[in-house]
Structure 1
Amino acid sequence: MSKIAKTAQRVWKSAQLYIGFHTDQNGNVREHPKVWPPKNGKASIHPDEGKQEVFLQLAADDKTHGRDVQIKLRPDQIVVRRDEGFAWEGIIVREDEIAVRVNGVRIRIKHDGSISHEDAGATTYIEGDGAVLKKTEFVDALMSGDGVELSRRTDDSIAAITEDGVIAKARDQDDDP
């Protein structure tokens, strides 16, 4: 038996496909959507999720350790969500990016391999070429993709390490941030 098979555990106990109708046949918005499971297991994805929505409900096998997951199928994205807890809370899959929310942190992975990490007013970007940019309320810091150049900019100073040497200077109050 493989190591994976020995440690694997059952996470989900059931999956059900539903269609949620957010408006009635006359186009009036319902207070609560009418939810209906399609008999043949197929559902068309409506272009306006405000009117009709297709989703898959996965029930957790063990409610004390797991949480139910809902997978919403939309024309331009797939949304996977569950209630807040100790791990991921939501995933959005689009044609050109994947976004994940984990314990309040937002992470985006774009089609070019670049990544952004947003947490409590600070954002870190990793560009496709490996360059890293960190932006906070107090500082912008940059490291080039090859690691040769570093720079830091605050409200009152600019500093950089380049192949040509080290530069550091105070910023004038009228310098653009």
Structure 2
Amino acid sequence: MTKVTTPTAAESAIRRVWKSAQMYIAFHKDQDKRQRDEPKLWPPKNGSASLHGDPNEQEAIVVVKTADPDETQDVQIKLHPSRIVVRRDAESRWQGVAVDDHSVTVRMADNTIIEIRHDGSIKRRGAEDETHVEADGSIFKWTEFAEAHMTGDGIEMSRRTDDRIAAITHDGVVDRARKR
């Protein structure tokens, strides 16, 4: 049996990242249904809000303040009827996380997008490449220079470039020039 320990006060203080959370309703349109440049934020008195059907008109947002006084990377948790979005204006690490019924998607500071789907498959899209790990373990990789594939069991692999095809299959190894 694993013993669960509670961190001491000193250990808790070292790990503290967030200090407070406040819920707001963000009204993106005024009473005449005109789009606002900046949403009007209103804190509901009871801390409860229903989720509007159109997040472009109204959103429920929880603003989580950082515990580090030198850090300005507060986090916004936006509650939409079909997904939850966590975002921050970070120059490094992650900038946003979206959770819906089928996937969790993370946007990194360099605009790389990582999507983890409900079936366990993963897609990573960067500025210069794209990688898919399928639910069965198959891997697909695309770059400017080549396409590569490996089956989930690791038995077969292939690579295609503009001028060559190379593969390891059940039947052996193939490496030849591509026909144009």
TM-score normalized with structure 1 length: 0.90
Which one of the candidate residues 108, 114, 125 is aligned to 1:107? 114
The worse-fitting range, judged by mean Cα deviation, of 101-110 and 87-96 is 101-110
5+ residue gaps, structure 2, are: none
**Structure 1 runs, 4 residues or longer, greater than 3 Å off:** 1-8
Q: CA deviation at 1:144?
A: 0.5
Q: CA deviation at 1:85?
A: 2.8
Q: 1:7 to 1:162 in 2, by over 3 A?
A: farther
3-state DSSP of counterpart to 1:120 = coil
Which one of the candidate residues 20, 28, 42 is aligned to 1:22? 28
Q: 1:90 to 1:25 in 2, by over 3 A?
A: same
Q: Distance in 2 between matches of 1:169 and 1:4?
A: 61
- Cα-Cα RMSD: 1.8
5+ residue gaps, structure 1, are: none
Q: Distance in 2 between matches of 1:4 and 1:136?
A: 46
TM-score normalized with structure 2 length: 0.89
Partner of 2:160: 153
The worse-fitting range, judged by mean Cα deviation, of 20-29 and 48-57 is 20-29
Partner of 2:150: 143
Structure 2 residue identity aligned to 1:70: Q
Q: 1:120 to 1:7 in 2, by over 3 A?
A: farther
Q: CA deviation at 1:120?
A: 2.0
Q: 1:40 to 1:3 in 2, by over 3 A?
A: closer
Q: Distance in 2 between matches of 1:10 and 1:34?
A: 30
**Alignment identity in percent?**
49
8 Å Cα contact 1:11-1:66 kept in structure 2: no
Q: Distance in 2 between matches of 1:14 and 1:136?
A: 43
Q: Distance in 1 between matches of 2:170 and 2:6?
A: 49
Which one of the candidate residues 31, 37, 46 is aligned to 2:37? 31
**Alignment length, in residue pairs?**
173
Deviations 1:1-47 (A, max 9, x none): 94865644211111000001111222122222211000111111111
Q: Distance in 1 between matches of 2:170 and 2:7?
A: 48
8 Å Cα contact 2:73-2:90 kept in structure 1: no
3-state DSSP of counterpart to 2:31 = coil
1:129 aligns with 2:136: yes
3-state DSSP of counterpart to 1:64 = coil
Q: Distance in 2 between matches of 1:4 and 1:88?
A: 27
Q: Distance in 2 between matches of 1:44 and 1:147?
A: 49
3-state DSSP of counterpart to 2:96 = strand
